[in-house]
């Protein structure tokens, strides 16, 4: 074999992200040529015309030809890594947390993803309204973030009091854009679901596993050991926070205030082909699309499925944390979240049927040597603090503003 070590540099160079050049986007010598050639991209205006035809065909479908369906999201806590894998039909993404909480910073965090999912459904609904009303749009991005309560509510921590900003390029009047926003929110199944108080119903599927476990050979560390490691990480984080609090009692409150009042949250960009790209934690991308019958190409899950997904990843994540807190031995955790969605909603004879998914429920599949009572208490503790469970359980509010022009990340 040929030796290919051409040089050996001894240095501790940082792996700079700035060196992540624009690569293939950077081939033009002048901005003028670049701008000219970028008109080669498909146009959102064109897409809206096609979407209008698609929506009219969809609306003309008789409710007799349609049926209610069960929408499903599956989440698995991946063994030794502990990360959450979400699967919806053939789509997937990974949820994770940072190193300080026992994760490895390799996937999206749930509360941020959740807000992006809400924004995605609002963007989708905005496009639908624009298409139906024949209003041209050249670009659309929705940014969303939660805000602190104006009055103390005693609720557990989760992002709420949502403010979303619609960044838009359109020749339409301010009044038209505002009307679109109001109609879009009214017709968003996800915003409708989140605004209502919905208590997800739990079923526990418990399988016993032996308490004794030998790690060695091919029996590598697994979920049980991940949870032990997470316990160490959580205890260390707590000790650090307590030490900081002793040193500066106001600091934690300041940090919390900051966390509750982000100036910019995740955002959703609409591509000229109608596909939506969610940017989460500034560095992860998730695609949402529609099935063919709604004029999409099914390149990603729908936002209706996405919203069940974030409930699942959050409950799974908090279950891991609570198992660590309680020093439980848990060998596997997976979750199935289901709800019924009725495409007949609003059609003749179904005017009263809700556009939001109904009967939200989840099954916790768990393998553990712990007894049923311990598992029950563990999950009760999870439901008490799980951000998404409580976000669903409580009513929520949304406000919007409209900004003309492109979105800029801070």
Residues 332-371 that bind another protein (CB under 8 A): 341, 343
Site for another protein in 7-46 (CB under 8 A): 7-13, 15, 19-30, 33-34, 37-42
The residue (of 30 and 250) whose beta carbon lies closer to another protein is 30
The residue (of 270 and 314) whose beta carbon lies closer to another protein is 270
The residue (of 233 and 375) whose beta carbon lies closer to another protein is 233
For residue 70, the minimal CB distance to another protein (Å) is 7
Taking CB under 8 A as the criterion, the residue among 176, 195, 272, 353 binding another protein is: 272
Taking CB under 8 A as the criterion, the residue among 199, 241, 292, 403 binding another protein is: 292
The residue (of 3 and 408) whose beta carbon lies closer to another protein is 3
Is there binding between residue 214 and another protein (CB under 8 A)? no
Largest CA distance in the chain: 75
265 and 113 in contact (C-beta within 8 Å)?
A: no
Which residue has tokens 């947390």? Answer: 97
Taking CB under 8 A as the criterion, the residue among 203, 235, 248, 406 binding another protein is: 235
For residue 85, the minimal CB distance to another protein (Å) is 6
Site for another protein in 133-192 (CB under 8 A): none
For residue 404, the minimal CB distance to another protein (Å) is 22
Is there binding between residue 305 and another protein (CB under 8 A)? yes
Q: For another protein, how many residues bind (rule: CB under 8 A)?
A: 104
Is there binding between residue 98 and another protein (CB under 8 A)? no
Q: Would you mind telling me the total number of residues written for the chain in this entry? A: 410
The residue (of 1 and 175) whose beta carbon lies closer to another protein is 1
Q: What is the DSSP letter of 142?
A: E
Taking CB under 8 A as the criterion, the residue among 48, 75, 83, 198 binding another protein is: 83
CA distances from 295 to 62, 124, 245, 292, 339 (A): 18, 12, 54, 5, 23
> How many angstroms from the chain centroid is the CA of residue 102?
20
Q: Is 289 left (phi over 0), alpha (psi -120 to 50) or beta?
A: beta
Q: What are phi and psi of 308, to 5 degrees?
A: -70, -35
Is there binding between residue 271 and another protein (CB under 8 A)? yes
Taking CB under 8 A as the criterion, the residue among 31, 90, 151, 351 binding another protein is: 90
For residue 383, the minimal CB distance to another protein (Å) is 25
| 236 CB-near residues (< 8 Å, 6+ apart) | 100
- 3-state class (DSSP) for residue 208: strand
The torsion of the CA quartet 318, 319, 320, 324, rounded to 10 degrees, works out to 100
312 and 302 in contact (C-beta within 8 Å)?
A: no
For residue 137, the minimal CB distance to another protein (Å) is 15
The residue (of 85 and 109) whose beta carbon lies closer to another protein is 85
The residue (of 108 and 181) whose beta carbon lies closer to another protein is 108
234 and 101 in contact (C-beta within 8 Å)?
A: yes
Q: Is the dihedral of CA 107, 71, 379, 226 positive or negative?
A: negative
Is there binding between residue 58 and another protein (CB under 8 A)? yes
Question: Which residues are bridge partners to 167 per DSSP?
Answer: 141, 403
CA distances from 362 to 13, 60, 98, 339 (A): 47, 34, 26, 9
Three state DSSP letters for 330-342: CCEEEEEEEEEEC
Taking CB under 8 A as the criterion, the residue among 111, 159, 265, 296 binding another protein is: 296
Taking CB under 8 A as the criterion, the residue among 214, 217, 352, 410 binding another protein is: 217
For residue 9, the minimal CB distance to another protein (Å) is 5
């Amino acid at each position: 074999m040929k030796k290919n070590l051409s040089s050996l540099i001894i240095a501790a160079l940082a792996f700079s992200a700035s060196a992540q050049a624009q690569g293939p986007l950077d081939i033009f010598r002048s901005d003028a040529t670049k701008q000219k050639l970028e008109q080669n991209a498909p146009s959102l205006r064109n897409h809206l015309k096609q979407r209008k035809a698609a929506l009219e065909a969809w609306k003309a479908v008789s409710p007799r030809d349609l049926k209610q369906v069960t929408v499903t999201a599956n989440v698995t806590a991946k063994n030794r890594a502990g990360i959450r894998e979400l699967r919806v039909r053939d789509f997937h993404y990974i949820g994770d947390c940072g190193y300080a909480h026992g994760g490895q910073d390799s996937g999206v965090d749930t509360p941020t993803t959740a807000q992006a999912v809400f924004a995605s459904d609002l963007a989708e609904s905005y496009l639908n309204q624009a298409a139906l009303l024949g209003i041209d749009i050249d670009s659309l991005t929705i940014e969303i973030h939660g805000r602190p309560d104006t009055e103390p509510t005693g609720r557990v921590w989760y992002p709420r009091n949502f403010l979303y900003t619609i960044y838009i390029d359109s020749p339409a009047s301010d009044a038209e854009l505002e009307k679109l926003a109001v109609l879009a929110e009214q017709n968003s199944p996800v915003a409708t679901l989140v605004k209502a108080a919905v208590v997800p119903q739990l079923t526990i599927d418990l399988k016993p596993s032996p308490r004794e476990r030998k790690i060695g050979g091919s029996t590598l560390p697994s979920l049980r050991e991940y949870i032990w490691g997470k316990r160490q990480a959580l205890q260390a984080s707590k000790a650090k926070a307590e030490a900081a609090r002793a040193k500066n009692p106001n600091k934690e409150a300041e940090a919390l205030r900051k966390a509750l009042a982000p100036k910019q949250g995740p955002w959703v960009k609409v591509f000229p082909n109608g596909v939506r790209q969610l940017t989460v934690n500034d560095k992860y991308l998730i695609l949402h699309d529609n099935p063919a019958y709604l004029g999409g190409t099914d390149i990603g899950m729908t936002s209706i499925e996405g919203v069940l997904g974030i409930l699942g990843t959050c409950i799974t994540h908090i279950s891991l944390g609570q198992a660590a807190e309680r020093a439980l031995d848990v060998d596997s955790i997976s979750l199935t979240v289901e709800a019924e969605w009725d495409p007949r909603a609003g059609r003749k004879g179904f005017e009263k049927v809700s556009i939001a998914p109904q009967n939200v429920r989840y099954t916790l599949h768990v393998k553990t040597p712990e007894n049923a009572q311990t598992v029950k208490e563990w999950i009760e503790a999870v439901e008490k603090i799980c951000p998404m469970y409580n976000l669903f359980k409580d009513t929520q509010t949304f406000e919007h503003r409209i900004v003309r022009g492109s979105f800029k990340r801070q």
